[in-house]
Amino acid sequence: MPNVKRIGVLTGGGDSPGINAALRAIVRRAAAAGLEVVGFRDGWKGVIEDDVVPLGLADVSGILPVGGTILGTSRTNPFIKEGKEWKPTPKVDRILETVKTRKVDALIPIGGDDTLGVAHRLASHGVRAVGIPQTIDNDVAGTDYCLGFHSALAVVTDALDKLHTTAHAHHRVLIVEVMGRDSGWIALVGGIAGGADVILVPEEPFSVHDVGKAIEHRLESGRRFSIIVVAEGARPVELGGKPVAQEGRVDQFGHPQLGGVGYWLAGELEKKGLPLTPRVTVLAYLQRGGVATPFDRMLATRFGAAAVEFVLAGKHDVMTGLRGHDVVAVPLAEVLAQSPKPVAREFLALARNIGVR
Amino acid sequence: MPNVKRIGVLTGGGDSPGINAALRAIVRRAAAAGLEVVGFRDGWKGVIEDDVVPLGLADVSGILPVGGTILGTSRTNPFIKEGKEWKPTPKVDRILETVKTRKVDALIPIGGDDTLGVAHRLASHGVRAVGIPQTIDNDVAGTDYCLGFHSALAVVTDALDKLHTTAHAHHRVLIVEVMGRDSGWIALVGGIAGGADVILVPEEPFSVHDVGKAIEHRLESGRRFSIIVVAEGARPVELGGKPVAQEGRVDQFGHPQLGGVGYWLAGELEKKGLPLTPRVTVLAYLQRGGVATPFDRMLATRFGAAAVEFVLAGKHDVMTGLRGHDVVAVPLAEVLAQSPKPVAREFLALARNIGVR
Amino acid sequence: MPNVKRIGVLTGGGDSPGINAALRAIVRRAAAAGLEVVGFRDGWKGVIEDDVVPLGLADVSGILPVGGTILGTSRTNPFIKEGKEWKPTPKVDRILETVKTRKVDALIPIGGDDTLGVAHRLASHGVRAVGIPQTIDNDVAGTDYCLGFHSALAVVTDALDKLHTTAHAHHRVLIVEVMGRDSGWIALVGGIAGGADVILVPEEPFSVHDVGKAIEHRLESGRRFSIIVVAEGARPVELGGKPVAQEGRVDQFGHPQLGGVGYWLAGELEKKGLPLTPRVTVLAYLQRGGVATPFDRMLATRFGAAAVEFVLAGKHDVMTGLRGHDVVAVPLAEVLAQSPKPVAREFLALARNIGVR
Amino acid sequence: MPNVKRIGVLTGGGDSPGINAALRAIVRRAAAAGLEVVGFRDGWKGVIEDDVVPLGLADVSGILPVGGTILGTSRTNPFIKEGKEWKPTPKVDRILETVKTRKVDALIPIGGDDTLGVAHRLASHGVRAVGIPQTIDNDVAGTDYCLGFHSALAVVTDALDKLHTTAHAHHRVLIVEVMGRDSGWIALVGGIAGGADVILVPEEPFSVHDVGKAIEHRLESGRRFSIIVVAEGARPVELGGKPVAQEGRVDQFGHPQLGGVGYWLAGELEKKGLPLTPRVTVLAYLQRGGVATPFDRMLATRFGAAAVEFVLAGKHDVMTGLRGHDVVAVPLAEVLAQSPKPVAREFLALARNIGVR
């Protein structure tokens, strides 16, 4: 059993509303165990640059419902990918230095596979860490759900509820573009929960022809509006399966346009001469905002407390994972080998089985 | 494999925001499988009285986010408890008659252990049923979560968020009474998610002395407000463990006052002369209202679709249960033997470990 | 034109979600005019006790949507009422001392008629002040609306929306007790906005007989639920108009029970043997919580900026008042003479004219 | 005083959440006065095509909080503009025919200046109408506020609240594009209420240079994020005031891109090499969705009841207008002469005075 006195926490990658709840749980659980907690600002950047703040009970008071992260975040990575290998940069030495001089016995990094991957690679340099999977994309493997996913769903679902009444009143096709470059978790579960008529995910290429058919089919059965949820990374193909030329996916300034597939689809549907005018809503960073749902607050509290307990139990190079009712320690090696986790096939089947295209 | 052509659905017991989402999923899944669906009004009452409505795709259009139940609900039970035995009343024959004349091949009752218990007892009378566990109390065993629980949590959490700022500004003790006559699920998980300072559940008797101490302890450490979440069924005991005389729990008109423990506690705390004035909020039926959270909408959709699939697969005398990522068929006998399910011990431990009394 | 360099602000009485937005506007408007701002903690108590904090742009950053007040509040009053006269206590001298030593050229007190009344009486002692009317009760005269009123309405309306679906599903009478000891603004406007069937306000005594009739009338026309909004200060009378004995309005511990009229009414309706069970929700402090509505945020911003401008223009012994589209300076003497402002007769007439009892 | 027996209502133009509340009030107020109400579907289209539905108390039960319009809407106009003149088309005769055969004594059209303009021009053909101004754009003159405006503000404000935490955590420039082709009401009031740092409205051309300066200025004072609210109709100019060439405002398919100014601005800011990455959210039809705020519900109820009362009082060729606390009858000629109403200059001044660019 290690002699743990001080824990360092950091938050990396894209934020979500549950992070502060996790920080609060870590500090409160650590306080109950007589441990000190320090925070590093802006993800791994703060460890590299020794940018540290004390985190006591007073510092986490009142932050439970507040979105974002009181520590700030960044995408700084002290390793660099060469081919399939990750190589350390000199920043790794600075991390080791900070951990040593700050007398941090273990780190709790909170983030997605990028942030957690750093923790795993630091293990071979002697850094002990217990990660917490947090990403609205829900694509970290080894856990039923990542922290933040359900809060992002709440934004998408609320948006779809708002759009339903106006789509109905105006007889429109409303296209809602949501986050998800590589995985369709938000689009699929958000779309099912919000009652979308068509859901387009990166895992399954789509053709404009099929989308048009689905809308026409609804029209024929008297439903004079349709709501389409499209992940930003959804990939259009031609009828034979050939990818649609990507020039349609750059914006008018020539740079690749993530966030453009919704407008692109609207343009294509308009060209087909549907009797319903398509209109586009781009939720973008709204999906990172708002208050955490009860599910995420409970998950954050459980993950935060469990991370401290795993540290106390001498576990490291692991992350907290939800498995059914239990929170377990999942080896990071296993997590990273299986991430990004594609959207569940049974959820795709569910959508099709209840008549969503 | 049974030759299924028509399914009958009904909703019993207390309502919650996810029911309509489940009805929608049942109808859409059934439509995809070529089945007809009829609805019975007001729970088992509708089957007894042959009060039936057709449920087609148009009937469930637009109901996904709407709370309550389009079928209505009641607590009518065709069996009567004598000692520990449930005996059929003549209403059972009327149910058998309705099922026969309406050519209903299987029933999907949606509700808590009372509603599902009827389904189980009807099995020995030859009625085939697949239940869906729905209760904001979350006390049906055999499933990680019951439909409606997370939506009720959302109301409690939102209330606690609202109260925090005003408690802080006014230096008050705010007492929030929530539902839960026998189980503390809503109080405990809602309280943790909403950052309550004291949580009182039926499973663990409390003393006013300890509650007062917790508030004083907070005062001494500079926190001039406290938020107490108390389940309506929480039971006060004297210091030695003796139950507090129940006359304090009737209202001023002499009838037993469920919903009174919050006011009772406020009175007792005031008698102790705390420097903070206690104020009471009684959420009551608010907890059944509002829109379903994404978690509950997804759960409702999965439960609804799975119930139809279980019917098609010839399963009966079972209910849909969430086990980790999977929805499984759980024998009703097993469910009823273990219900009501008390609040998870590890969640109680979690609360204590992060400093909640 | 006075030579103003420093403004002092304070927040007194019950809080509401718009206060912080007003503080932010005051500080930002003052900064643009080159003025300093200091805050006094906990209302007039902070001025008496010289409990002061600097308020710069950084201090008000991020507080716009946060409920409560960063300055804290209290009901401390340095005057004491003898008969109809307000007499100064020694605390008044301490206020004069603080104002002098802190070099505060003008005060901006934010609160209801109690808080603003102090400002008016201090005028004759040479203290210059421009008040901002803030109370969820909306009963300060001289302004179309008080800050906080619309945010409280949002809580009431949201609660009524939540209750409608469950009332409908369960065939119940739901009673919602809202704030308003002397005035029915919240009950009346919240009740109209939330679609209540019966609204009971302090300005118009009610009889249980009439309430029962209204519910029965709805039942007869097929509407098997009713929602009653009752202000905490609503006064029951017997059929002839005689006030109902007040013992029914104390709680079981013998102290007068504000917040008890809802339970009292439920008991009386139950005695009448209505076929619908009444259930009570007590919103209480929820009505002070949550985020400010856009209306209140705009009003707070306008009032805050105008208060600074009135100070700069040499106005004092006034408050900011909304009159149609304009924000004007209203003499406090006039305001106090007409407060508390009863609920608008035309709004009562509106309710009756659309079939609300 | 006319002998009124039957009123016809219709809803035209873009929808907003308050419409159904107004329909409900009209029907309930009419019922109290013994009048019948019929509804025409899809705006003036329904009158032209004699597409009519009865509207009784049961039809408007439960619609108060529901967005959209139960009658549907369209932009059909039976007049056609030739130069500055509106000329009747043959559709006007069909309207006269419908009004006659359906025995409609007066119409209550609900909508913006387009919908109300038809009512005014029909007056000279003998059609009696009392309009209700409804548009989220708030640009109908003659009323302090149009129905729907505050509900749209609520969506914008909520979005800005959500974005603040993530902008802060990520050090980003977040651009939010809101509705408003010709007027900046939503952008300006929504931006002030949501704490935007930069607000761009159609009424005041902007230069990218100035926007960049404002962001840099914030960066220099330590605020590492900025939130920009831009109306879809905001017009960029070069430094000398020359309009920016419009080709930047078409999408990649060549058709004019309303809804494109946000992306355009992001591209321009990126070209300037700001250290903060801009990200775009397009609220689009979200602004028409959601539940009506209490302000709008009350306004809808007052406008609806007043419209019936004005009809009964023999007023016509007018609309309901809010003037301070009062609802008055405003001649449509006057309304149309002053519409579209530009954003209030004093609100623009307010924004500047509290440090918003």
Contacts of D274 (CB under 8 A, 6+ apart): D173, D212, D215, D216
Q: Compute and round to an integer the Cα radius of gyration of chain C.
A: 22
Contact state of D155 with A164 under an 8 Å Cβ cutoff? no
Q: How far apart are CA A142 and CA A331, in angstroms?
A: 9
Q: How many CB pairs under 8 A join B and C?
A: 133
Report strand pairing: C326-331 vs C318-323: antiparallel
pLDDT of residue C221 exceeding 90, the answer is no
* SS3 of chain D: CCCCCEEEEEECCCCCCCHHHHHHHHHHHHHHCCCEEEEECCCHHHHHCCCEEECCHHHHCCCCCCCCCCCCCCCCCCEEEECCEEEECHHHHHHHHHHHHCCCCEEEEEECHHHHHHHHHHHCCCCCEEEEEECCCCCCCCCCCCECHHHHHHHHHHHHHHHHHHHHHHCCEEEEEECCCCCCHHHHHHHHHHCCCEEECCCCCECHHHHHHHHHHHHHCCCCCEEEEEECCCCEECCCCCECCHHHHECCCCCECCCCHHHHHHHHHHHCCCCCCEEEEECHHHHHCCCCCHHHHHHHHHHHHHHHHHHHCCCCCEEEEEECCEEEEEEHHHHHHHCCCCCCHHHHHHHHHCCCC
pLDDT score recorded for residue C240: 72
How many CB atoms are located within 10 Å of the residue D58 CB? 12
* Complex confidence, ipTM: 0.93
Chain D contact set for A271 (CB, 8 A): 253
Q: Please list the residue range(s) of chain D that carry CATH number 3.40.50.460.
A: 150-288
Partner-chain contact B73 C169, CB within 8 Å: yes
Give the model's pLDDT for residue D258: 45
Assign a CATH topology to domain A6-148+292-338.
Rossmann fold (3.40.50)
pLDDT at C245: 59
For residue range D243-285, list pLDDT tens digits in order: 775 444 444 444 445 458 998 899 899 888 887 789 999 999 9
C-alpha to C-alpha distance for D136 and D296, rounded to whole angstroms: 11
**Residue among A65, A157, A291 whose CB faces B297 most closely:** A157
Using a CB-CB cut-off of 8 Å, the residues of chain C touching B159 are: 286, 289
B353 touches chain A (CB under 8 A): yes
Number of C-beta neighbours around residue D282 at 10 A:
26
Whether the pLDDT of residue B249 is over 80: the answer is no
**According to the model, what pLDDT value does residue C255 have?**
40
Tell whether A167 lies on the interface with D, counting CB pairs under 8 A: yes
pLDDT (0 to 100) of residue D143: 97
Nearest to D259 among A15, A271, A280 (CB): A280
Cβ within 8 Å, pair C293-D154 = yes
Residues in D 266-325 with any Cβ partner in C closer than 8 A: 291, 293-295, 297-298, 301-302, 305, 323-325
State the chains in contact with D (3 or more Cβ–Cβ pairs under 8 Å): A, C
Q: Where are the beta strands (DSSP E) in A212-342?
A: 226-231, 278-282, 318-323, 326-331
CB neighbour list of residue C137: distance below 8 Å, 6 or more residues apart: C14, C112, C146, C149, C179, C180, C181, C182, C183, C185, C186, C340
What share of residues in chain C are helix, strand, coil (percent, to 5)?
40, 20, 40
With cut-offs at 50, 70 and 90, classify the pLDDT of residue A168: confident
Q: What is the pLDDT of residue C275?
A: 78
Determine the Cα–Cα distance for residues D350 and D342; give it in Å rounded to an integer: 15
* Banded model confidence at residue B242, pLDDT cuts 50, 70, 90: confident
Whether residue C28 is predicted with pLDDT greater than 90 in this model: the reply is yes
Work out the average pLDDT over A69-80. Answer: 96
CATH 3.40.50.460 fits C151-288, yes or no: yes
Query: Would you call D67 an interface residue with chain A, using a CB distance cutoff of 8 Å?
Result: yes
Helices (H), chain B: 19-32, 44-48, 90-101, 113-123, 149-170, 185-194, 208-220, 261-271, 294-312, 332-338, 345-353
Query: Considering chain C, what percentage of its residues have pLDDT values greater than 70?
Result: 95
Segment B1-4 long-range contacts (CB within 8 Å, at least 24 positions apart): B1/B312, B1/B313, B1/B314, B2/B105, B2/B106, B2/B128, B2/B311, B2/B314, B3/B105, B4/B35, B4/B105, B4/B106, B4/B311, B4/B312
Extract the tokens encoding D158.
């909520």
Q: Find the residue in D nearest to A248 (Cα).
A: D252
CB contact under 8 A, B293 and A353: no
**Residue from B350, B352, B356, B357 whose CB has the most chain A CBs within 10 Å, to mutate:** B350
Contacts of B178 in chain A (CB under 8 A): none
Quickly tell me which residue has 């989220």 as its tokens.
Answer: D136
Whether A258 shows a pLDDT value over 50: the answer reads no
Confidence of residue D357 (pLDDT cuts 50, 70, 90): confident
pLDDT tens-digit series, residues A58-67: 999 999 998 9
User: Would you place residue C324 in the very low, low, confident or very high pLDDT band (cuts 50, 70, 90)?
Assistant: confident
Whole-angstrom Cα distance, residue D32 to residue D34? 6
Task: Count each helix (H run) and each strand (E run) in chain C, helices first.
Answer: 11, 13
In chain A, how many H helices and how many E strands?
11, 13
Who contacts C289 (Cβ-Cβ below 8 Å, separation ≥6)? Answer: B159, B161, B162, B163, B164, B165, B166, C17, C67, C155
Task: Report CB contact under 8 Å: C162, B172.
Answer: no
Helix (H) or strand (E) run with residue C133 in it: strand C130-133
Over residues B14-18, the mean pLDDT reads: 93
CB contact at 8 A, B113 and B128 = no
Q: What is the Cα A90 distance to its own chain's centre?
A: 29
* Helix, strand, or coil (residue A279): strand
Cβ-based neighbours of A235, under 8 Å, separated by 6 or more: A202, A205, A206, A243, A244
Residue A3: which pLDDT band, with cuts at 50, 70 and 90?
A: confident
- CA–CA separation, C229 and C175 (whole Å): 6
* Pairing mode of beta strands D36-40, D6-11: parallel
Catalytic residues of B: 137
Mean predicted confidence (pLDDT) in A192-217: 95
Closest CA to C69 of C137, C13, C29: C13
Mean of pLDDT values over B240-253: 57
Q: What is the pLDDT of residue C251?
A: 47
Average pLDDT over residues D118-127: 97
* Nearest-CA distance C353 → chain D (Å): 6
Which residue of C29, C295, C325 is in closest CB contact with D150? C295
**pLDDT, position D245:** 59
Q: CATH for A150-288?
A: 3.40.50.460
pLDDT at position A232 over 60: yes
Query: Which chain D residue shows the shortest CA-CA distance from A174?
Result: D285
Could you tell me which chains touch chain C, where touching means 3 or more CB pairs under 8 A? B, D
Q: For D11-28, what is the mean pLDDT?
A: 96
Q: Band the pLDDT of A245: cuts 50, 70, 90.
A: low
Asked if C154 and D294 come within 8 Å (Cβ–Cβ), the reply is yes
| DSSP summary character for residue C168 | H
Whose CA is closest to C304, among C127, C118, C44, C63?
Answer: C63
Please state, as a whole number, how many other Cβ atoms lie within 10 Å of the Cβ of residue B338: 15
* Tokens 């901002």 belong to residue: C132
Q: Does A223 touch chain B (CB under 8 A)?
A: yes
pLDDT in the model for residue A1:
58
For chain B, which chains pass the contact test of at least 3 CB pairs under 8 Å? A, C
And the tokens for C71?
A: 């300055």
Specify the pLDDT at position A252.
43
Residue D193 token pair = 């209420």
D325 vs C contacts (CB less than 8 Å):
144, 324, 344
Decide if B159 and C73 are in contact by the 8 Å CB cutoff: no
pLDDT digits (tens, 9 = 90+) for C178-211: 999 999 999 999 999 999 999 999 999 999 999 9
Residues with Cβ within 8 Å of D331's Cβ and at least 6 positions away in sequence, in order, are D317, D318
Q: Catalytic pick from D15, D137, D197, D296? A: D137
Place of tokens 């119940």: C172
Residue A66: both structure tokens together: 């507040």
Q: Which of A276, A255, A256, A251 is nearest to A266 (CA)?
A: A276
Tell me which of C158, C170, C175 to substitute to probe the interface with B (most B C-beta atoms closer than 10 Å).
C170
* Per-residue pLDDT tens over the stretch D161-218: 999 988 888 888 999 999 999 999 999 999 999 999 999 999 999 999 999 999 999 9
Looking at residue C254, what is its pLDDT?
A: 42
Residue range(s) occupied by CATH 3.40.50.450 in chain A: 6-148+292-338
Q: Which residue has the higher pLDDT, B254 or A94?
A: A94
Mean pLDDT for the stretch of residues D234-250: 69
**Rounded Cα distance, B250 and B246, in Å:** 7
Cβ–Cβ under 8 Å, residues B71 and B23:
yes
| CA–CA min distance A120, chain B (Å) | 26
Alpha carbons A237 and A243: distance in angstroms, whole number: 4
- Give chain D positions within 8 Å (CB) of A270: 255
| Dist. CA C169–CA D320, nearest whole Å | 37
B237 touches chain A (CB under 8 A): no
CA torsion sign for C201, C203, C208, C210 is: negative
pLDDT above 70 covers a percentage of chain D that reads: 95
Q: Do the bridges between strand A36-40 and strand A6-11 make them parallel or antiparallel, or are there none, so unpaired?
A: parallel
A338 phi, psi to nearest 5 deg: -105, 0
D80, pLDDT greater than 50? yes
Those of residues 68-87 in C touching chain B at CB distance below 8 A are 68-69, 72-73
Backbone φ and ψ for C145, nearest 5 degrees, come out as -140, 145
Identify the helix (H) or strand (E) that includes residue C269: helix C261-271
